[in-house]
Amino acid sequence: MSTVKLTIVFYSSTGTNLEMARAAQSAAEEAGAEVRLRRCAETAPDEAVNSRDAWKSTLERMQEIDIAAPEDLEWADALLFSAPTRFAAVPSQMQAFIDTLGPLWNKGALAGKAVSAMTSTGTRHGGQETTLIGFYTTFMHWGAILVPPGYTGEIMFEHGNPYGASAMANDVDDTLRSVVEHQTRRLLDVAGKLSA
């Protein structure tokens, strides 16, 4: 079986989704996948970013990570998205990237790809599930194959969100890392079967 190619697209303002994306990258590389880690472009004005130390320092830490481009998705067999929630939906930076994908969708280049999603919120009931379901609604429009983690491993019963890994902001603990790793391995497994 050929090596699964995974693109991880994330947006992070204070570092939580950066940590989750890096945990997924490590798990995927350990599993033998070829991985592209890509971040969404920051579209907020400089004065907004610079008004919060965590936001500014996170952006500085991510400068070596390439900005996501549509060709990164076309290249991949599997796609993993990660973004915080903004009013129970993805932030504008992630949506702006998704909005560039019309040409890929139009020619069917996203159809049949295995895809999953992760998120974080500032409060316990801040829209984690609705954000993930919103991601999945978009992926259904593409004709992608949804690969949520479900309750497919013991760690999922401990974590409790079958839609995808979901964190409280700035709280990426060992349990959450285990969930991210499980979700990533499941995504690669399904993508490998689809590619066989």
Whole-model pTM: value is: 0.96
The stretches in the chain having pLDDT less than 70 are 1
Domain count, the chain: 1
Amino acid at 124: R
Q: Write the CATH number for 171.
A: 3.40.50.360
For residue 41, the model assigns a pLDDT of 96
Among candidates 7, 23, 13, which has minimal Cα distance to 59?
A: 13
For residue 160, the model assigns a pLDDT of 79
For residue 27, the model assigns a pLDDT of 97
Q: What is the DSSP string of 17-56?
A: HHHHHHHHHHHHHHTT-EEEEEEPPP-S-HHHHHTSHHHH
For residue 125, the model assigns a pLDDT of 82
Dihedral angle sign, alpha carbons of residues 105, 64, 27, 19 = negative
Domain containing 18: what range?
5-195
For residue 2, the model assigns a pLDDT of 74
pLDDT, one tens digit per residue, over 65-114 is 999 999 999 999 999 999 999 999 999 999 999 999 999 999 999 999 99
